[in-house]
Structures are given as C-alpha cells and as structure tokens.
Structure 1
Amino acid sequence: MNVRRLIPTTVAAGAVALGLMAVSACSSSNAADGGRNGDKLKVVASFYPMQYLAEQIGGDHVSVSVLTEPGVEPHDLELKPRQTAELNEAGYILYLKGIQPAVDKAIAQSEAKNKVDAATLTKLEHHGTEGGHSHEGEEPGHEESGHDEHAHEGEGEAGADPHIWLDPVKYAEVAKGVGASLEKADPDHAADYKKNTEALVGKLNGLNTAFQQGLKNTTTKTFITTHSAFGYLAERYGLDQEGIAGVDPESEPSPARIKALQDIAEKDKVTTVFFETLASDKTAKTLARDAGLKTDVLDPLEGITDKSKGRDYVEVMRSNLDALRKALGAK
C-alpha cells in the first residue's frame, strides 16, 4: 500500500500554502532591506563582463551574484523564477542591453532602484561579419572622435554591436561610468569606489598598451573567427575581423560566405581560424581543414570556465593577445 495516498488533500494543500507564505515572507523581508545583504550592497550582474566590473569596483562593499552561470552561452539565457525574484531584491543591477533579450525584459520589469545599462556608458557601433578595418595613416589604438563613422546616435540602437568589453579602452569608459553610479547608489563608500575604479582603469590602460605594442607590426592584419564579437578590438588596433557567423554566434554561414573566406584567407595570408569555448567549433574546423589553416581559441570572454586560458578578464585578454600575435605573425 502506498501510504502517501492516505494523506488528505486538505493537509497537502495546507502544506503548499504554508510554503508559499514562507517564500512570500522571505521575499518581502529581502525587498524591505533596501537591497542590502547585511552591510553590503546587493549587486546583480547579467553576465561575466559585468560581474568583473562590479567585483573589481565594488570590492568589499558589495555582494555580487551573476545571472549567467559559468559555461552557459549568455545570448540565449532564460531566467529561472528565483533569478527574477533576485532582480527585485537587488540594490544595484548592472547589465548590457542587447546581449540577452530575456534579461533585458526582466530587468525592465524589476523593482530595483538602481539599474545601470553599460551600453549607455560608451558609444556603440555597428559591425557586420567584417567587424573591423585597417586605418590608413592612423596609429592603431587611436582615440575615437565624436564623429566616428561607425558610431550611431542613441546608445542601445537595434543592430548595434554590444561586445564593447573586448576593447579595453571602451571597457575602461564603462568602468568609469559604473564607478560613478556606485558612488551615487552607495555614497557612504564613494571614496573606495572611486579608488577601485582608478585601479581598474589603470589595469585596462596597461592592457591597451600591451595590445597596441603587440599588434603594431604583423605579417597580416586579417583574422577569421566563428563569432563576430571582435569588431571593437579590430577597430581599435587596426585589424580586419572576418567573421564566419555574424554577431549572433549561433547563425550559420552561407556557402557563398565560406567561399569568400577561403579567398580572403589566401589573399591576406591568413594562418588561423579562431573558435571559442562556449559555442560549437565544427564550422571553424571544417573551414580550416578545407583551406589548409590552423585553429586556435579567441575567447569572447562571455564567461570564465575551467577551459578559459586565464582566471579573469585581464589574464584571458592577454591570452587572446598571444593568440593574435601568433596568428598574425607579429614581429
């Protein structure tokens, strides 16, 4: 006999009701604490590049959770109910509009007081599968002017490339904006946020210098990658990104695109097809085999996993630099 069948439905219903009441009470308590976890500001970051900023700038004064778990492809993330509740309980949300539609929608509906879209803290550009180009007569790493031909009025514009964190200069601009917003959200610790921001910007400036110097003199300026995430990086350092797919890593290339890439590889003396750790490498390896090219990893840094070539943003970016130097024939 199944003993559980003898439990009256009213008792079961009562248990469920008590459970829901407990969850409700817990949520109310968390919402009432002003978005704080003890003496720390509750910060929710949408995915790794935002998490890194929050942790580096927030330091000991923030408690950071991230919506996108390590190893999960962020573009297609669907939120669990507890994550939606977490957004409502946050004291500060840091996200990047245009990367994760489901996250954007949930954040727009959340009750959090401080919601910061990193896309509004710098200037977005449009990049296709050909995400960058060389600048005749310009030094790689030049500062963008207010009339940048790739810039568009109105941050967050549909179709704009959201991968701003892969350009250390743009990422530093975002870091400054995040620091300023944390100072306003938690003024008691403003001095520490300012100090931490300056330290992070210093790291990013050093990374920018390393890329400038490391990619200044190369045999070729062209690199092929599965995911057209490196348009800002290519633009910054005078390189030509040729993407197999577009900005969406799951899009499939046409036969005509594959043929064009084979021709480009031959003409521009391309040696390597890059793939990434969080998406399929099948197309990259097929193209490389057919064109007689090598393969290597160029990490778009959408998450840190055991397969990442580094423990954090700066380390993985330096690994990316090493991979690019090798592929481009740096001297």
Structure 2
Amino acid sequence: MTLTPRVSSAAVATSAAAALLLLTACSGAPPQDDAPADERLDVVTAAYPLQYVTERIAGDDATATSALSAGTDVHEAELAPSQALRLSRADLVVALPGLQAGVDAALSDAAPERVVDVTEAAALDGDDLHFWLDPLRLADVGDEVAGALAAADPDRADGYRQRAAQLRTDLTALDQRYADGLAPCRGASLVTSHEAFGYLADRYGLQQLGVAGLDPEVEPTPARLRAVVEQVQDTGVRTLYFETEATDAVTRALASRLGTATGVLDPMESAREPGADLVATADANLRALTDGLVCS
C-alpha cells in the first residue's frame, strides 16, 4: 500500500525517530519494550474510532491499542520513539491515511507486516475524513477490520465475525435513533466551529456550515464569518456549536454577537482511553442536536 502523508514537522520528527529505532533493532541491540506475553494478535490503530471498532471486534482474542496517547490532538500528533517502534512491531495496523501525518510517516518508514487501510470501506467523500459520524459507514469499516483480523488469525475468525455482526447491530440501532430524533429537523442549519460533521449532516438531512473549514487550525476569513452571520440571521439558527477538541473563542464571540445559545459536539477525533464508548458519545451528540437545532 502506498501512503501519501501530509508533510509537517511532526511527520519529520516521527520519521526520524522510527528510522533510528529500526536501525537500532537491526544492529542487534536489545529491544526497549517486551514482546506480548501471549499468543494474541497485537493490533495498533491510528484513530479513536478505529480503536473503538477494533476493540469491539477483537474482544479477548486480540489486543487493540491506539498509536497515540489518550488526549492527543489528532491534527498535530507526533509519535514518540517508543510509539513508532510499537507501530513497526504490530501484527496488524488499522489506518486511515491522511488523518495523522505522524502516523502516516511512521507507517511509511516502518512497513508493518499487515496494514488495513479503511479508506475504501469508509467510502470517503472528498477531503473529509470524519466518516465515523455516519454510523453505517463505521459499521462497514467494522466488517473490513473483522475480515483483516480473521485473515491474520484464522483460528479465531468466527469470534471476530460474530462480534462484528453485533457491532453492526448496535450501530444500526444508533443510526435509527438519529434518524428518528432528527427527522423533525431535516433542512435545519448546523453551524459548527469547524466542518467536521459533514457525514452526519448529509445522512440526516442537515445543512452544515463551519465557522472554520475542515482544518480547525486555519483561522476563518472575514468573508466566511459574514456568510455564517447571514446564514444565522436568514434561517433563525438558535445554537452555534463548538467542539470538545477545538478552540471555541471565535464561535463563542459570534454567538454573543448574534444572541444565540452555544452547544457542544464531540467530533471524536482525539485518542481516548481504552474502552471509551463511542456509541454513548454519539448519543450525547444527538441530544445536543435535538436540543439546539431549529426543528418542527
């Protein structure tokens, strides 16, 4: 597989660290961390939604961990040398190229034995990578991960497939809750601090408008701010949403100027502790949407 990571200082640092560690390993120096104590697959994932899916499908038959430490900003992630080495030694890596430049660079240098790129299964639309905000796309990725686990560990294939089927059931139920809850809101304007919610908006008939674009680190232009103000005034938007993982200063200032309420949505980008419940977070997002959107 060919990866095309975005160039950044984090990527350069990670690439150098990975190369140094691999050269050290090849020279015969003793490894700095112990190999897994059991025979289970060691799976490393490159984003929290992929971690959640892999944990659910792996169950007790494989270990699933994130390449990043909990709380790491997905857009500026820089792998420590120990993280790059762990990535290189994994039995399987579940990746979404383009989301994290540091992880992409480490994968390109380290060339793990097996890498599953979920891009095709997620059916990405343009440059927006936040596919997991559409539950059914995430279920499709779960099937892809189950297939990769089964191929790498045939003796436990039935368990992987059964747990993937249960995950699909849970995500289909989540999708139905969203469809029911947002049915009265179809056509409503969803104004967010950055455009991370396009897949959600498309699936449930909302009109997303971000104060910033896809990259939350890029300051909005005056023209973009004027467009947001006009949209709010023309459509009677009651709530401007900022995010748990992005600065909210501009969005709060706009809300104060326009006299609207503010709400919080979680784009579920940053790394989480093992076992964090994506479905519960998605349900909290649904409550915030039904509370704040203009619905009939």
Q: Same fold (TM over 0.5)?
A: yes
Deviation track 1:196-224 (CA, whole Å, cap 9, x = no partner) reads: 00000000000000111111112861111
Which residue of the other structure, out of 299, 306, 320, is the alignment partner of 2:285?
320
Task: Name the aligned partner's letter for residue 30 of structure 2.
Answer: A
* 1:166–1:300 CA contact under 8 A, matched in 2: yes
Deviations 1:69-115 (A, max 9, x none): 22221111011111111011100101211111121121122232110
Alpha-carbon distance between aligned partners in 2 of 1:37 and 1:216, rounded to the nearest angstrom: 50
2:241 and 2:265 in contact (8 A); partners too = yes
CA contact (8 A) 1:37 1:63 kept: no
Aligned equivalent of 2:121: 121
Given the superposition, is the C-alpha separation of residues 220 and 266 from structure 1 closer, same or farther in structure 2, using an over 3 Å criterion?
farther
What 5-or-longer segments of structure 2 have no aligned partner? 1-23
2:31 counterpart of 1:26:
yes
Match of 1:183 among 137, 141, 150: 150
> How many angstroms apart in 1 are the aligned matches of 2:93 and 2:37?
14
Assess if the C-alpha contact under 8 Å between 2:185 and 2:206 holds in 1.
no
Alignment partners' CA distance in 2, 1:45 and 1:219: 34
Structure 1 pair 28–268 and aligned structure 2 pair: CA distance change class (3 A): closer
AA matched with 2:69: E
SS in 1 for 2:58: helix
User: 1:289 aligned to 249, 253, 256, which one?
Assistant: 256
Q: Which secondary structure state, in structure 1, belongs to the residue aligned with residue 116 of structure 2?
A: strand
Whether contact under 8 Å (2:75, 2:100) holds in the other structure is yes
CA distance in 1, matches of 2:34, 2:282: 41
Superposition CA RMSD, Å: 2.2
The alpha-carbon deviation at position 189 of structure 1 amounts to 0.4
Structure 2 matches for 1:209-224, cutoff 5 A?
A: 209-218=176-185, 221-224=188-191
Paired residues of 1:71 and 1:278 also in contact (CA < 8 A):
no
Aligned to 1:89: 89
CA contact (8 A) 2:78 2:102 kept: yes
1:222-243: CA deviation from partner (whole Å, max 9, x where unpaired) = 1110121110111111110001
Q: 1:37 to 1:251 in 2, by over 3 A?
A: farther
Question: For the residues of structure 2 that align with 1:106 and 1:263, how far apart are their CA atoms?
Answer: 44
Counterpart of 2:86 in structure 1: which amino acid? E
Residue identity opposite 1:124 in structure 2: L
In 2: Cα distance, 1:43 partner to 1:315 partner: 24
Query: Larger Cα Rg: Structure 1 or Structure 2?
Result: 1
Which residues of 2 match residues 126-275 of structure 1 at below 5 A?
Answer: 126=126, 160-218=127-185, 221-275=188-242
Letter in 1 for 2:109: Q
What is the alpha-carbon distance in structure 2 between the residues aligned to residue 219 and residue 190 of structure 1? 41
Residue 298 (structure 1) aligned with residue 265 (structure 2): yes
CA contact (8 A) 2:47 2:271 kept: no
State the partner residue of 1:72. Answer: 72
1:100 equivalent to 2:100? Answer: yes
Question: Conserved in 2, the CA contact under 8 Å of 1:244 and 1:258?
Answer: yes
TM-score by length of 1: 0.77
> Structure 1 residue runs of 4+, over 6 Å off?
20-23
**CA, structure 1 residues 286+29, in 2 after alignment: closer, same or farther (shift >3 Å)?**
closer
Aligned residues: 271
User: Judging changes above 3 Å, is the alpha-carbon distance between structure 1 residues 189 and 83 closer, same or farther for their aligned structure 2 residues?
Assistant: same
Per the TM alignment, residue 68 of structure 1 is displaced from its structure 2 partner at its CA by 2.1
- Percent identical residues: 36
* Superposed displacement of residue 26, structure 1: 2.4
Gaps of 5+ in 1: 1-19, 31-35, 127-159
| Cα deviation, residue 120, structure 1 | 2.4
Give TM-score scaled by structure 2 length: 0.86
CA contact (8 A) 1:220 1:329 kept: no
Distance 2:63 2:155 in 1: 16
Of 37-46 and 314-323, the range deviating more from structure 2: 37-46
